[in-house]
Amino acid sequence: MSQETIFSKIIRREIPADIVFQDERVTAFRDISPQAPTHILIIPNKLIPTMNDATVEDENVLGHMMVVAAQIAKNEQIDERGYRLIINCNRDAGQEVFHIHMHLLGGKSLGKLIS
């Protein structure tokens, strides 16, 4: 299996993070370099390096990430105005930590993603 990441240590609470949600399947915490007023990372507790590594067995946790994102957006009071969910896959897409993570961004107008 792939090597452990910094996210693995956050999941186990071995390094500090502003965790906003955690259950047996996913962990969500505030990004240390926010790109919007609300910028939260939602990660599976199981190490899956990239979306290319996801399997049928991972469908449940990947779907759960979406449901958790919607709940966090509501808790952060950005659900009505809108928010963006982003998963980058590999270097050309901007993935820096090779542990799948979904960015939840909101709290301001985010504009077009691609023009």
- Cβ atoms 50, 91 nearer than 8 A: no
**CA 103/CA 10 separation, integer angstroms:** 16
| Annotated catalytic residue, options 39, 64, 99, 101 | 101
Instruction: State yes or no: is 103 an active-site residue.
Output: no
Q: Considering just the CA atoms, what is the radius of gyration of the chain in Å? A: 14
**CA 8/CA 16 separation, integer angstroms:** 12
SS (H, E, C) 53-111: HCCHHHHHHHHHHHHHHHHHHHHCCCCCCCEEEEECCCHHHCCCCCCCCEEEEECCCCC
Q: Which residues are catalytic?
A: 101
